[in-house]
Amino acid sequence: MAIQPAEHEHWSSRLAFIMAAIGSAVGLGNLWRFPFTAGESGGGAFVLIYVLCVFLIGLPVLAAELFIGRRGQLSAIGATAKIARAEGASPAWSVLGWVGMIGAFLILTFYSVIAGWVLAYIAMLVGDLAARIGTDGLGALAAGAFANDGADAIGARLGALLTDSPRMILFHAIFMAATVFLVARGLKGGIEAAVKFMMPAFFVMLLALVGFSLLTGDAVRGINYLFGVRPGELIGPLSDGSIIVSALGQAFFSLSLGSAMMITYGSYMTRDTDIPRTSRFVAISDTGVALLAGLAIFPIVFQAGIDPAGGPTLLFQALPIAFNSMPGGGIVALVFFILAFFAAVTSSIALLEASVSYVDERSQGNHRVVVAITLGAICFAIGVVNALSQNPNSPVSAIALPDAVPLLGGKNLLDFFDTLTGNILLPLAAFLTALFAGWAVSATSAREELGFKSEAWFARWRFLVRWVCPIAIGAILIYGAVVAPLLG
Ligand code: TRP
């Protein structure tokens, strides 16, 4: 006999839900992963493909995840099984909840390490400002970030952090503790309280930074790099499947899709929320933030004469060096990293909530605090190993699957988890979600739950979710796992 979980909490208002959903979507994916992925993949052409992926593939799946959650009123696994039964389909569809939930959990194990780096940079910037104010007085505020250092010394700070395992683990611990604290306090007392303060602050700081960057940086090159696509330049990326794969992976990661989380947040949604409209709003905001983050970063990076294709260290090496040569750069850099911290927390609480909601539901909904602490502790422990994998002096950094393993071979643990989740688990869960929402759920139920204003838009949604999403995601999964490795 299946247990009957108690009716769970709901968002206190539509606005609270929208801020929580945007808070989860907007994160290190926008500020750290998007700029360096765009940089590695050549800028404008990637950005264009990315935006297409968001609206043609991501958006229909986002609406599907939200409606599954709201209709099921349970965690991702419970909701999917419940709807499947009601539709006369196999409850085995709940595997999409499992894949997503495990994906979200694994993302948190490395997300928290990177967010720990963000905290470490906040600490360094504060320390540096305080020291310089001590010697030069308040005039120090007008100087650049780490004003007494040269570019090499600033670039070396990341290496120094990575080889200092205790420091890395300390900041990872602080970040995980903050995440657990907020999730343990529950929907209204924790998650809503955090996003209501952090998201508006985030947007104000982001806009201020974009203004600063466009005024003081190389705005023309930055804008051209992000948005300038000449038709000829599209042919290369379009024939090179790996760019499409990373654009779609980035779209899923950034919209928090395929990770059980939007289903979970959807289940806290009240009936008066318009799902199609909310989904559109979340997708537009998330993409807008990624592009604004690009506008905040690239003009400064170009101004400082730095290569934008520098990879994952862009945020932690190139950017601080760029802030070094800007007037007021010390304060601006501090604002930037605080912004990144806010974005990271509002995402990490959602990542943890995906599994906490499930375990809490299985234990009759009375043990949120214990569950949050336990899952957080496991996540922290795996994260410690991820952190060590970044320290070249640690034996853990040498652990990797054999190079021959497609996609995952030869990567250190943190990169392994990043690729495993971003390129395999999230697309797989999203693929199953599209099939489930398009084929297993009847048109009548989907129409009723989604509440599109017009039948034509419902028909478009259903066509995308039944055909375009599964075929596109399926092709990309197969390409990534089979074709690309064969091509070498
Ligand atoms: N979207 C988040 C970001 O851009 C990362 C993320 C992926 C996520 N899946 C998630 C966040 C699930 C919360 C829940 O940083």
pLDDT at 239: 65
Residue 12 Cα to ligand 1 midpoint, Å, equals 22
pLDDT at 242: 74
pTM summary value: 0.93
pLDDT at 488: 58
243 is written with which tokens? 């760019």
Residue 28 near ligand 1, beta carbon < 6 Å: yes
| Residue 137 backbone zone (phi > 0: left; psi -120 to 50: alpha; other: beta) | left
Task: Please state the separation of Cα 65 from the chain's center in Å.
Answer: 16
- Distances, alpha carbon 372 to alpha carbons 9, 70, 74, 178, 345, in Å: 16, 23, 17, 11, 15
Other CB atoms within a 10 A radius of the CB of residue 225 amount to: 21
Residue 112 near ligand 1, beta carbon < 6 Å: no
Pocket test for ligand 1, best of 107, 113, 282, 433 (most atoms within 8 A of CB): 107
Query: Which residues fall within 8 angstroms of residue 277, CB to CB, at 6 or more apart?
Result: none
* Minimum CA distance residue for ligand 1 atom 12: 256
> What pLDDT, in 10s, does the model give residues 127-163?
999 999 999 888 888 899 999 998 889 989 999 999 9
Q: What is the secondary structure of 427-454 as a DSSP string?
A: HHHHHHHHHIIIIIS-HHHHHHHH--SS
> What pLDDT, in 10s, does the model give residues 256-269?
999 999 999 999 99
pLDDT at 172: 98
Residue 146 near ligand 1, beta carbon < 6 Å: no
> What pLDDT, in 10s, does the model give residues 188-235?
999 999 999 999 999 999 999 999 899 989 999 999 888 887 666 666
Amino acid symbol at 488? G
What is the rounded CA–CA span in Å between residue 297 and residue 196? 26
What is the rounded CA–CA span in Å between residue 332 and residue 200? 18
Residue 350 near ligand 1, beta carbon < 6 Å: yes
pLDDT at 3: 44
What is the rounded CA–CA span in Å between residue 46 and residue 53? 10
Q: What is the secondary structure of 243-273 as a DSSP string?
A: HHHHHHHHHHHHTTTTSSHHHHHHHT--TTS
Q: Are 191 and 349 in contact (CB under 8 A)?
A: yes
pLDDT at 7: 64
Residue 250 near ligand 1, beta carbon < 6 Å: no
Residue 27 near ligand 1, beta carbon < 6 Å: yes
465 is written with which tokens? 């979710």
Q: Are 484 and 407 in contact (CB under 8 A)?
A: yes
Residue 130 Cα to ligand 1 midpoint, Å, equals 34
Residue 243 Cα to ligand 1 midpoint, Å, equals 20
What is the rounded CA–CA span in Å between residue 403 and residue 295? 37
Residue ranges of the chain whose pLDDT lies below 70 = 1-7, 230-240, 365, 485, 488
99 is written with which tokens? 């894949």
Residue 104 near ligand 1, beta carbon < 6 Å: yes
Residue 340 Cα to ligand 1 midpoint, Å, equals 13
pLDDT at 235: 67
Question: What's the Rg (C-alpha) of the chain?
Answer: 22
Pocket test for ligand 1, best of 113, 347, 356 (most atoms within 8 A of CB): 347
Residue 456 Cα to ligand 1 midpoint, Å, equals 31
